[in-house]
Amino acid sequence: MMKRKLRMGMVGGGQGAFIGAVHRIAARMDGLIDLVCGAFSSDPARSKATGESLFLPADRVYGSFEEMMEREAQLPEGERMDFVSIVTPNHLHFAPARAALERGFHVVLDKPMTFNLQEAEQLAALVQRTGLLLCLTHTYTGYPMVKEARQIVASGRLGKIRKVYVEYPQGWLSEPIEGGENKQANWRTDPGKSGIAGCMGDIGTHAFNLAEYVTGLKVVKLCAQINTVVPGRKLDDDGAVLLVFDNGATGVLMASQIAAGEENCLKIRVYGEKGGLEWKQDEANSLWLKWLHQPAQLLRTGGPELSAFARHNTRVPAGHPEGYLEAFANLYRNFALTLQARLSGETVRPEWLDFPGVEEGVRGMRFIEKVIESGKSQQKWVEF
């Protein structure tokens, strides 16, 4: 393995932003990555102030992502960034990602991948042409017990999968808080920045990604009811989707941001011929297995009987809670280990390759498009 840390640049994540700080924590957690440069805001003064607060040298803090890509590409190979982390609102994902890939930089990108499906397909073609890595931060696939759930389904222990329930209720948009000081509410409810979907693009894509990741199945058809509950809101804030998977299994996906009192209550249940499993983020260290002809079984993070994938993504002994930040960091670590191995010509382990990429990004954007299409249709069922 190579003997140096990877050098990361960042687009977005300036002062007052939420997810940029989370990305920086996640990238630092395992000591594999250093933040070396950034274009943290479309406002050059704010970008500079953010760079100063992060103790970056002034000549590595840029006023725009275009300037950053151009100048970083001109630096010697031993100094310039290895990859860029893009943590902007949805409408500002595609252009910096394309600029980075065209200049030979690998990419970590916040979800959903782009503003629309057309951009996602263009980005996928560019990744394929360049051969560069792209990690999409669908955080919840980073939890050890989510990875264990995937391995249990893949092993066949549950039998053929028949039914999938996945839900993501939040309550933070139960009132019309957009239009005020809440930047997150403002852009996430703005069609010009979020895209054609609100709730379904923001958290519905997480639920969709989790369902496909855990089961290993692909959605082939869906039927959606999409609601805008808060008066005057421009995008959906609630909805439910019936799913049909490629093995014939059926499912139900629910996402809501007007479930008053809920925080981030993500939950998935998967049922096969022989048994089922249940995981929820509120108790992320636990995975329930429920059997047809024997008592239910509780698996816990750190247990000796878990798969190599779960063990690789666990940092502390059993009984010590690991949560959202660690799951987020698992995506960065797996991406970093894969990139380090590629740069040094070494073999990439399967556990390292276990992070969401451009294929998941395209499917997420297609989910958004098809859900909104179905939601507006009288016929309802649409082919995926």
Same domain, 291 and 373: yes
204: DSSP letter: I
Which of 103, 132, 161 lies at the terminal end of a domain, its last residue?
132
CATH code of 82's domain:
3.40.50.720
**Average pLDDT score over residue span 90-110:** 98
Over 90: is that where the pLDDT of 2 sits? Answer: no
CATH code of 250's domain:
3.30.360.10
Which of 79, 110, 132 lies at the terminal end of a domain, its last residue?
132
Predicted confidence (pLDDT) per residue in 150-164, tens digit: 999 999 999 999 999
Q: What is the mean pLDDT of the chain?
A: 97
Same domain, 26 and 110: yes
Same domain, 114 and 245: no
Same domain, 27 and 96: yes
pLDDT at 1: 56
**Average pLDDT score over residue span 303-330:** 95
Over 60: is that where the pLDDT of 298 sits? Answer: yes
How confident is residue 17, by pLDDT bands cut at 50, 70 and 90? confident
Same domain, 241 and 374: yes
Share of the chain above pLDDT 70, in %: 99
- Does the residue 334 lie in any domain? no
pLDDT at 3: 77
Predicted confidence (pLDDT) per residue in 32-84, tens digit: 999 999 999 999 999 999 999 999 999 999 999 999 999 999 999 999 999 99
Which of 106, 132, 158 lies at the terminal end of a domain, its last residue?
132
**Average pLDDT score over residue span 301-322:** 94
Same domain, 298 and 241: yes
Predicted confidence (pLDDT) per residue in 209-225, tens digit: 999 999 999 999 999 99
pLDDT at 233: 98
pTM confidence score = 0.96
Total domains present in the chain: 2
Residue-number span of the structural domain to which 10 is assigned = 6-132
Predicted confidence (pLDDT) per residue in 179-214, tens digit: 988 999 999 999 999 999 999 999 999 999 999 999
- Does the residue 347 lie in any domain? no
